[in-house]
Amino acid sequence: MRKAKRALGAACAAIVLIAATHAAGQPFPSKPIHLIAPAPPGGGVDILSRTIGQKVGDILGQTVVVENKPGGNGNIGFDAAAKAAPDGYTLVMSYSAVATNVWLHENLPYNPERDFEPVVFIGYIPLILVTNPSSGLTSVTDLIAKARAKPGSIQYAHGGTGAGAHLSGELFRYLTGAQIEPVGYKGNAPALNDVVAGHVPIMWDTINTSMPLVKSGRLKALATTGRQRSAQAPEYPTMIEAGVPEFEVSAWYLILAPKKTPPEVVAKLNAAFNQAISDPEIANKLGSQGVDFVGGTPAQADAFLKSEVARWGKIIRAAGIRAD
């Protein structure tokens, strides 16, 4: 009986070894790739993942399956990706929260610099500072002057602690010393609704959701938040041009793979994603929604991620922000 068990065990081990050797010999990718979208279906992260994922699948000759794993300001999806096998078959469409969550949450189960291999910087959507026309605010310098004259008298709306709109307000306070007060909501939509209604005077919002309201006259735009003027609103100055040096905020997106993913696999994925975002059809479809594509090398994506982690760490610590 013992001999039979040993023989069976040896046979099983041999089968596993043969299968592993066969898989290792296959060119990447030899099966579907799973792209985690750490957000609910229908939102910006989901749409970006599905649109680009389909094109990458066409390029690589394999299906890219988008898996929605929302929750915890992206933490559920980020953690799932960090713990996946480092073989290139699990990726995550990370966004700005991956760099800020490390400062907002205690005992985070992953670390963005320790647990991920950046693949490519997909792109970003700049924010735009908007105000209700009845607020009387005419420019960024006017906002600074009035906030300094009466500290705490001006409020800004945001969709949740640590969200882009919230961090924009804190960065503004940090850089200008103007004491504006945050008013938090459960999501950007109700926050923006209260600015439109005149209950809160200002908000930093993603440009693709606010510009229709600006064009209809229900909101007034003061400045955008990218380093250069936005193609979606070129008539408005950047916050830097408007008098706040170093003010740069965006909703950005990086493709990340688990740490120790083989360099040759990362390189192949990088080439496929760069090809996808340079496709005219993708550029037209997502560019019209405010996405500015970046692309580049894994090293450039890595440098950007590290710079964002360091930058927001200083601001979040100075403001004493913790997640709800």
**What confidence tens digit (pLDDT) does each residue in 191-205 have?**
999 999 999 999 999
Residue 212 pLDDT more than 70?
Answer: yes
| pLDDT tens-digit map of 116-163 | 999 999 999 999 999 999 999 999 999 999 999 999 999 999 988 888
Strand partners, 50: none
Please report the sign of the dihedral spanned by the C-alpha atoms of residue 194, residue 195, residue 197, residue 199: positive
Looking at per-residue pLDDT, the higher value among 1 and 307 belongs to 307
Does residue 95 carry a pLDDT above 70?
yes
pLDDT above 70 (res 236) = yes
CB of 135 closer than 8 Å to CB of 147:
no
The CATH number corresponding to 31-124+252-319 among 3.40.630.10, 3.40.50.11030, 3.40.50.300, 3.40.190.150 equals: 3.40.190.150
| Coil, strand or helix at 267 | helix
Domain boundaries in the chain?
31-124+252-319, 126-224
Arithmetic mean of pLDDT, 284-301: 92
126, 225 in Cβ contact below 8 A? Answer: yes
- Indicate if 126-224 has the same CATH topology as 31-124+252-319: yes
Q: What is the pLDDT of residue 179?
A: 95
* Cβ atoms of residues 97 and 233 within 8 Å: no
Structure tokens, 231: 């193609």
Range from 75-79, 152-156, 304-308, 315-319 carrying the lowest mean pLDDT? 315-319
The CATH code belonging to domain 126-224 is 3.40.190.10
- pLDDT higher than threshold 80 for residue 19: no
Q: Which residues of 177-208 are buried (b: 16+ CB within 10 A; e: fewer)?
A: ebebebbebeebeebbebbbeeebbbbbbbbb
